[in-house]
């Protein structure tokens, strides 16, 4: 409810009953803000309203010199009402409700049912719905608990296997290792055994790495040979639409580029920024280009460099930092920004 309107007690199609309180006559208008007054005897809520729009429905009064209404609660209820009202105002559920088309009457399964009219009928329907929802929820929670018990057993088994592998109690074959890893992946259990740097090494990630190798060639070329991993994540998942990759899937796949001899590399800068870069864009080339550009212009900030190369500011900065690290550039760090100069020392 984003407005106070004089209306009959029936709910419209897209309205839900939040709380019902018997109230006195009102003036129409938009709700601006609330105020909970506690006068000594009777609790009141003051609701300040925007002026009513031109096309408002007629109400008990055409005009009012006041821009607020007062709700008096003679017999409690004010706290609950205030709470619900502020909740509704914050949640703004009315913005989420789809606008329904008017349903023609007398068509479909509803034809035979008498439409319960009046507040009592509606309340009864809502009560039924609430009970059913509650039943569904509690059943869902029950089923969830049972499911988790079974999942827990799986975790125990995998831990036990992992321990055995760790203690080298038994040489399991490579095949079995791969199978074990894929089981862990399916269950979402972290691999406690291996600390290998080549990702989880499952078949899934190997395939994924190859797909990425194909898919990212063109985008990388367009972006100067380098893309932040978050950018790759968005690009790939937007393209997929469904069956999206998790961030970890992406990282694990990218870690396999080198071992699969694909022409891409995952790289982590000192700042923690992770990028995918084309192997053909070597480090020396990047540094040389950074130095060239900076010397050409005398000095450059990350923003200026980014604009020059069509890169994101983040990656432009990383390249400049890299060139600085290698001793080719030096910085001037002031409140006006970070500027890089050729290193003449």
Partner 1 sequence: MHRRGVGAGAIAKKKLAEAKYKERGTVLAEDQIAQMSKQLETFKTHLEEFASKHKQEIRKNSQFRVQFQEMCATIGVDPLASGKGFWSEMLGVGDFYYELGVQIIEVCLALKHRNGGLITLDELHHRVLKGRGKFAQDVSQDDLVRAIKKLKAMGNGFGMIPVGGSYLVQSVPAELNMDHTVVLQLAEKKGYVTVNEIRDSLKWERERASHVLDHLLKEGLAWLDSQAAGEPQYWLPALFSELLSRDVTPEEANQMTP
Reading the block at residue 263, the tokens are 């022409």
- Residue 269 CA to residue 59 CA, distance in Å, equals 66
Binding-site size for partner 1 (CB under 8 A) equals 79
Binder to partner 1 among 13, 116, 126, 268 (CB under 8 A)?
268
Question: What is the footprint of partner 1 within residues 134-163 (CB under 8 A)?
Answer: 136-137, 139-141, 143-145, 147-148, 150-155, 157-158, 160-161
Q: How far is the CB of 49 from partner 1 (least distance, A)?
A: 12
Q: What single-letter DSSP state applies at residue 58?
A: P
Residue number, 119 or 308, with CB nearest to partner 1: 308
* 229 sits near partner 1 (criterion: CB under 8 A): yes
* 271 sits near partner 1 (criterion: CB under 8 A): yes
Cross-strand bridge partners of residue 13: none
Specify the stretch interacting with partner 1 by CB under 8 A; choose among 17-25, 33-41, 105-113, 320-328.
33-41
Reading the block at residue 60, the tokens are 């008990």
Residue number, 11 or 313, with CB nearest to partner 1: 313
- Residue 324 CA to residue 343 CA, distance in Å, equals 8
Residue number, 51 or 337, with CB nearest to partner 1: 337
Reading the block at residue 240, the tokens are 């997929």
Residue number, 118 or 188, with CB nearest to partner 1: 188
Query: Could you tell me if 6 and 28 are in contact, meaning their C-beta atoms sit under 8 angstroms apart?
Result: yes
Query: Could you tell me if 1 and 94 are in contact, meaning their C-beta atoms sit under 8 angstroms apart?
Result: yes
Q: How far is the CB of 132 from partner 1 (least distance, A)?
A: 13
Specify the stretch interacting with partner 1 by CB under 8 A; choose among 19-27, 88-96, 105-113, 256-264.
88-96
Select from 240, 230, 210 the least CA-distant residue to 314.
Answer: 230
- Residue 190 CA to residue 181 CA, distance in Å, equals 9
Question: What is the footprint of partner 1 within residues 51-70 (CB under 8 A)?
Answer: 66, 68
Residue number, 201 or 291, with CB nearest to partner 1: 201
Query: Could you tell me if 144 and 166 are in contact, meaning their C-beta atoms sit under 8 angstroms apart?
Result: no
- Residue 41 CA to residue 20 CA, distance in Å, equals 22
Question: What is the footprint of partner 1 within residues 289-308 (CB under 8 A)?
Answer: none
Q: How far is the CB of 296 from partner 1 (least distance, A)?
A: 25
Q: How far is the CB of 286 from partner 1 (least distance, A)?
A: 18
Residue number, 131 or 152, with CB nearest to partner 1: 152
* 16 sits near partner 1 (criterion: CB under 8 A): no
Question: What is the footprint of partner 1 within residues 192-211 (CB under 8 A)?
Answer: 204
Number of Cβ within a 10 Å radius of residue 124: 12
Q: How far is the CB of 163 from partner 1 (least distance, A)?
A: 10
Specify the stretch interacting with partner 1 by CB under 8 A; choose among 21-29, 256-264, 270-278, 319-327.
270-278
Q: Give the count of alpha carbons within 13 A of 294, CB side only.
A: 28
Question: What is the footprint of partner 1 within residues 309-338 (CB under 8 A)?
Answer: 314, 333, 335, 337-338
Binder to partner 1 among 13, 17, 19, 46 (CB under 8 A)?
46
In the three-class reduction of DSSP (H, G, I as helix; E, B as strand; rest coil), residue 163 is classed as helix
The C-alpha angle 99, 101, 102, rounded to 5 degrees, equals 125
Sequence-ordered list of residues with C-beta below 8 angstroms from that of 113, at least 6 positions apart, any chain: none
């Amino acid at each position: 409810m984003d407005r106070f309107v004089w209306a009959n007690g029936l709910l419209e199609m897209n309205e839900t009953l939040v709380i019902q309180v018997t109230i006195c006559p009102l003036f129409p208008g938009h709700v601006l803000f609330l105020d909970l007054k506690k006068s000594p005897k009777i609790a009141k809520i003051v609701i300040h309203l925007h002026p009513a729009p031109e096309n408002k429905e007629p109400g008990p009064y055409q005009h009012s010199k006041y821009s607020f209404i007062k709700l008096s609660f003679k017999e409690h209820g004010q706290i609950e009402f205030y709470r619900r009202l502020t909740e509704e105002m914050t949640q703004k559920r009315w913005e989420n409700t789809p606008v329904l088309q008017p349903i023609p009457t007398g068509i479909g399964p509803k034809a035979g049912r008498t439409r319960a009219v009046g507040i009592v009928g509606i309340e009864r329907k809502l009560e039924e719905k609430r009970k059913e929802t509650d039943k569904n929820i509690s059943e869902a929670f029950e089923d969830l608990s049972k499911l988790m018990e079974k999942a827990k057993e799986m975790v125990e088994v995998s831990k036990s296997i992992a321990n055995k592998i760790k203690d080298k109690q038994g040489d399991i074959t490579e095949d079995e290792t791969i199978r074990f890893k894929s089981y862990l992946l399916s269950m979402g259990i972290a691999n406690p055994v291996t600390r290998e740097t080549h990702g989880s090494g499952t078949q899934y990630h190997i395939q994924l790495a190859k797909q990425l190798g194909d898919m990212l060639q063109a985008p990388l070329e367009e972006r100067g040979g380098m893309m932040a991993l978050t950018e790759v994540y968005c690009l790939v998942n937007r393209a997929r639409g469904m069956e999206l990759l998790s961030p970890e899937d992406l990282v694990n796949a990218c870690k396999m580029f080198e071992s699969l001899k694909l022409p891409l590399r995952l790289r982590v800068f000192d700042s923690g920024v992770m990028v995918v870069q084309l192997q053909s864009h070597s480090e020396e080339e990047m540094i040389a280009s950074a130095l060239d550009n900076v010397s050409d212009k005398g000095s450059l900030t990350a923003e200026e460099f980014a604009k020059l190369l069509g890169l994101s500011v983040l990656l432009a900065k990383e390249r400049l930092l890299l060139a600085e690290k290698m001793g080719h550039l030096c910085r001037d760090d002031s409140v006006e920004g970070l500027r890089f100069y050729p290193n003449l020392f």
